[in-house]
Amino acid sequence: MSGRLYRSVRATGAVAAGPLLQTPNRRQPHAVTSLRKVLGDTLLQRLLEALARSLWDDYRNASVRLDRVSLRGATPVAVSVDPDRLWRARELLWEYRLANVEPYAPVLIWSRSADSWRLLLPPILESHRHGQNGPKAMYVMDGMHRLHNLHQLAVEQATALVISSPHLPPPPARTPDSWEGVWQAEAGTVQREARFCWLSESLLRPVSQKIDHKVWELSTAGGNQVFPTEFASVEDCVRRAKEILSVADTRASKRGNASPGRR
């Protein structure tokens, strides 16, 4: 399939044919399964809330929603992208297209090299309000390369996790004016700190590092629980998600029944 072009329609999560869209060399075939399809809307929303709130202490009480967002309204924090990671994002988009899944909805992705299904979260955006009555703005905290790839392909919308709370600290760096202000570095030449303008190290989110972990500690209504990001099968992921949320419901119910004033 090498050399075949992506084809679709702009503004619907689709892309137009062009030289940027040549099919990547798929040396390690994958398969993509939509989490919404296997979990359903309610279970998926609850799992995403638990996962997102485990990424950083400041997210624990934040609002978490899965939403289609406009790339025009999503502000990048970094000023540069790595070409190797951008190419991998292009390969991933091809996998989404083959599976007929909206980019970048939460999925399980199978890799023959790893011989497992791995959980892949959507890009993570923070919603901030400028001033008490000012306009809201969204900043990309994870998924920069995936969204930049869509911008290059003139795609206008993507599925993302949007996190909002009045208690979130400001973004960790001065941002580019738009996606056009993001430049592509030569592979391996840009250090992490150089990817940001006026970087405040103390405000950097640990989101990307946490996402790379193979096991997450989730803080749920039922207490802390362990959730892996790799599974032997899709059914294994569904079973584990249901177990965690069921335990959370049971523990929360017991605490409620034992609270003062109840008989």
Q: Residue ranges of the domains in the chain?
A: 25-205
CA–CA distance, 159 with 52 (Å, rounded to integer): 15
pLDDT digits (tens, 9 = 90+) for 67-120: 999 999 998 888 888 888 899 999 999 999 999 999 999 999 987 788 899 999
Confidence tier at 257 by pLDDT (50, 70, 90): low
Reduced DSSP (H G I as helix, E B as strand, rest coil) percent helix, strand, coil of the chain, to 5: 35, 25, 40
Kindly state the tokens that stand for 180.
């056009």
Tell the residue number behind the tokens 């398969």, with chain if given: 31
Q: Which amino acid is at 91?
A: E
Give the range with max mean pLDDT: 8-12, 146-150, 176-180, 190-194.
Answer: 146-150
Rg (CA), the chain: 19
Q: What is the phi/psi pair of residue 246, to 5°?
A: -65, -45
Q: What is the pLDDT of residue 188?
A: 57
This prediction has a pTM of 0.81
Topology (CATH level 3) of domain 25-205: 3.90.1530
Q: What is the pLDDT of residue 71?
A: 95
Higher pLDDT, 259 or 98: 98
Tell the residue number behind the tokens 């303008």, with chain if given: 197
Confidence tier at 194 by pLDDT (50, 70, 90): low
**For the stretch 180-208, what's the b/e string if a residue is b when 16 or more beta carbons lie within 10 angstroms of its beta carbon?**
eebeebeeeebeeeebbeebeeeebbebe
Confidence tier at 152 by pLDDT (50, 70, 90): very high
Q: At residue 175, does pLDDT exceed 90?
A: no
Q: What is the pLDDT of residue 20?
A: 41
Higher pLDDT, 257 or 97: 97
Q: At residue 159, does pLDDT exceed 80?
A: yes
